[in-house]
Amino acid sequence: MTTNILLFKITLLVYFATTILYLVGVISRRDHFRQNAVYLLIGGFILHCITLVVRGFATGTIPVTSLHESLSFFAWALVGTYLLFYLRYRTVMLGAFITPLALVLMIIGTSTSTQAPALNPMLDSWWFPVHVTLAFLGHAVFSIAAAAGVMYLLQERMLKSKKFSGLFYRLPSLDTLDSMNYKCLTFGFPLMTMGIISGAIWANSAWGGYWRWDPKETWALITWFLYAALLHGRLTIGWRGRRAAIFAIIGFGFLLFTFFGVNLFLSGEHSFRNFTGQ
């Protein structure tokens, strides 16, 4: 168990260094700092992959059975999705928003128990990894949408008010940010939908019922409707730009609440303690 904890901590340090590099790069206006930050992030991601694989072999299942593991998995999906976006859009600056988010998830991860209790045999099913992978990839894609939304609002504000800070020169164009919002939506929404459906199938095989209205399910559904509304608005009545950006940020807020709030404040089948049948 110690190997993967050590790897986890090294990954966290790399993310931390990347965040610092980004910060220095943005403040000091040195473009190559930010470019190097991306390379460092790629290194951190590879390390993170190894961490998860080692952990997975140690526990014998996909490493999302505890809060610690899911935070790490979430951060991994987030960084991975960003790097995919980087390949497509070459937006170095997006990473300046994503990396700190991944870092925060990892830091919260260190403060939670790193124990890996055995999975409740009732829940051990082929659907478990499918459900969580889809759900977290959806989370990651929507996080990117939110980050792009924040960048959009910043850039839009500067263009409207005609007061430009140094950030103006480094942020991508509004169209690019808006098309990122759209791309995220078209990938994130199916992922989330399939995540919910696979969860329902899994629930049926574990408990004999597709939907039990436990808090997490309820909140996930609310979030799903929110994104459905945004997607619909985009496709039919031309919701774009500012409105789409704000929606993406609100949606992300719901997502975070579904992820954290339900575990911390409400109890239900998705609380991690129920995972292990304690």
Partner 1 sequence: MHIVIVGLSHNTAPVEIREKLAFAPTAMERPLRQMLELPTIAEGLIVSTCNRVELCATTKEPEAAMVALRRFLAEYHEIAPEEINDNLYDYQGEDAIRHLFRVASSLDSMVLGEPQILGQIKTAYGYAAEFKTAGLILNRFLHKAFSVAKRVRTETGIASNAVSVSFAAVELARKIFDRLDNKGVMIIGAGEMCELAARHFVANGISKVLVTNRTFERAEKMAAEFQGKAVHFDSFIEHLAEVDIIMTSTGAPNFILGKRQMEEVIKRRKNRSMFLIDIAVPRDIDPKVNDIDNVYLYDVDDLQGVVQANLKERKKEASKAEAIIEQEIGQFHQWLGNLEVKPTVIALRHKLEEIRRQELEKTFGNLKDLSSKQRKSIEAMAGAIVNKILHQPTAVLKRAQNDTSGEDYVDAVRTLFDLPTPADDDKEIKPLDDTDQE
Q: Binding residues for partner 1, per CB under 8 A?
A: 29, 31, 155, 159-160, 162, 164, 166, 168-169, 172-176, 237-243
**How many Å apart are CA 141 and CA 191, to the nearest integer?**
9
Sequence letter at residue 269: E
Measured from the CB of residue 147, what is the shortest distance to partner 1 in angstroms? 18
**Based on CB atoms, which residue is closest to partner 1, 80 or 241?**
241
Distance from C-alpha of 96 to C-alpha of 35, rounded to nearest angstrom: 11
Which residue lies nearer to partner 1 by CB, 173 or 186?
Answer: 173
Cβ distance to partner 1 smaller for residue 36 or 267: 36
Q: In angstroms, what is the minimal distance from the CB of 230 to partner 1?
A: 13
Look-up: residue for tokens 């790629």? 42
Q: Which is nearer to partner 1, 81 or 176 (CB)?
A: 176
The pair of structure tokens assigned to 230 is: 């945004």
Give residue 96's identity as a one-letter amino acid code. Answer: A
Q: Minimum Å distance from CB 36 to partner 1?
A: 14
Tokens of 148: 């792009």
Q: How far is the CB of 87 from partner 1 (least distance, A)?
A: 17
Q: Give the nearest distance from C-beta 40 to partner 1 in angstroms.
A: 20
Of 102 and 244, nearer to partner 1 (C-beta) is: 244
Give Cα 86 distance to the centre of its chain: 15
The encoded tokens of residue 9 equal 């901590």
Residue 173 CB, nearest approach to partner 1 (Å):
4
Q: Which long-range contacts (CB under 8 A, 24 or more apart) does 152-160 make?
A: 152/177, 152/178, 152/181, 152/241, 152/242, 152/245, 153/242, 153/245, 153/246, 153/249, 156/241, 156/242, 156/245
Pairwise CA distance, residues 182 & 176, whole Å: 10
Residue 47, C-beta contacts closer than 8 angstroms, at least 6 positions apart: 7, 10, 11, 14
**Per-residue CA distances from 129 to 70, 179, 208 (Å):** 12, 30, 19
Q: Which is nearer to partner 1, 6 or 235 (CB)?
A: 235
Nearer to partner 1, 116 or 180 (CB): 180
CB of 26 vs partner 1, minimal distance in Å: 14
